[in-house]
Amino acid sequence: MTANTAVTVRVPAKVNLQLAVGPAREDGYHDLVNVFHAVSLFDEVTVSEAQPRAEREFVRLSVAGDLGSHTDLVPLDDTNLAARAARLVARRATHAGPIDMHLNKRIPVAGGMAGGSADAAAALVACDALWGTGLSADALLAMAAQLGSDVAFPLVGATAVGTGRGEMLTPVESAGRYQWVFALSDEGLSTAAVFAEYDRLRPDAPEPHGDERLMAALAAGDARRLGAALSNDLERAALSLRPDLAATLDVGRAAGAVGAIVSGSGPTCAFLAEDEDGAEAVATALEKSGTCERTVRAYGDVAGATVVRHESA
């Protein structure tokens, strides 16, 4: 077998169709019912073999991205989740030398679309291919769960419900193709801060439950019904920290979005449109309104982390 010298993995962003949040647990996390939906907004992670160098520089990171994707917020040291993912895989490899890792970002940073988690998932898949570790899907999922609550989902993509911290995944039947518009904000929100605000606002939160209405709409491929069933328990907390997002949601609704919601912990707002023309109208209204920094369009669902290029020695 020829060894790979560089591997590129493409990985999607997610939007939460339902995010039901229970009370804070003893470990500080919250039990969730989290319906993840992968959308066609992709980061690419490339890992390549590097010359021998000091162990502390085992992973050397670089980042590039779209104007406005706020790549300056991405940590380039070992605290980066994707670098930590590479080190986890290296422990399981027979020969793992130092690597350069390049993140090409289109998923907004700190936007509530799990971009950092997506990069970590991509890094797991890319390093596994680079070093020929041959990790099973279950092993990769277990490593992902160790890295963070949202890292497992981008490995599988499509639509899935996450329980526990969000990392225990069950696929969900989803028919049709859904058209989304995302309104991006020029300032990120910290996931931990939004959960803390949730605890402050809802000290008596009930146990989280799935929503049959949402599942039925997804199975039927009905955008209108899906739009009406979207829900996010973190939305109130995100709006409490960023009251200006209410105006963004209003503009999208007025422009005909069949669903409007804060994405995950925010500040990105997600709008579901009935079709492509509807998405165009929502995007145009948002851009004109000045209530967001910019918009991006995407469709869902799409597959999870996939190797798109490899070079061999």
List residues forming the annotated binding site.
108-118
- The torsion region of residue 221 among left (phi > 0), alpha (psi -120 to 50) and beta comes to left
176 vs 16, 172, 173, 220, 276, CA distance in Å?
17, 13, 10, 8, 13
- Rounded Cα distance, 255 and 280, in Å: 10
Residues in contact with ligand C5P, counted by CB under 6 A, come to a total of: 11
39-47, 147-155, 249-257, 299-307 -> range binding ligand C5P (CB under 6 A) = 147-155
- Examine the residue annotation and report whether 250 is marked as an active-site residue of this protein: no
- Examine the residue annotation and report whether 105 is marked as an active-site residue of this protein: no
The correct pick among 43, 44, 49, 150 for binding ligand C5P (CB under 6 A) is 150
Is there binding between residue 195 and ligand C5P (CB under 6 A)?
yes
Is there binding between residue 192 and ligand C5P (CB under 6 A)?
yes
**Which parts of 30-69 interact with ligand C5P (CB under 6 A)?**
30, 32
- Rounded Cα distance, 61 and 160, in Å: 30
Both tokens assigned to 58:
């085992």
Residues annotated within a binding site for ATP: 108-118
Give the dihedral sign, CA 47/51/52/57. negative
Is there binding between residue 149 and ligand C5P (CB under 6 A)?
yes
42-50, 191-199, 247-255, 296-304 -> range binding ligand C5P (CB under 6 A) = 191-199
**Residue 198's closest CA among 264, 291, 270, 110?**
264
Both tokens assigned to 158:
């499509």
- Rounded Cα distance, 234 and 239, in Å: 9
Q: From the candidates 31, 43, 128, 150, which is the catalytic residue?
A: 150
**Closer residue to ligand C5P (CB): 24 or 307:** 24
25-33, 53-61, 134-142, 205-213 -> range binding ligand C5P (CB under 6 A) = 25-33
Active-site residue numbers?
A: 14, 150
Positions in the binding site for ligand C5P (CB under 6 A): 29-30, 32, 148-150, 165-166, 191-192, 195
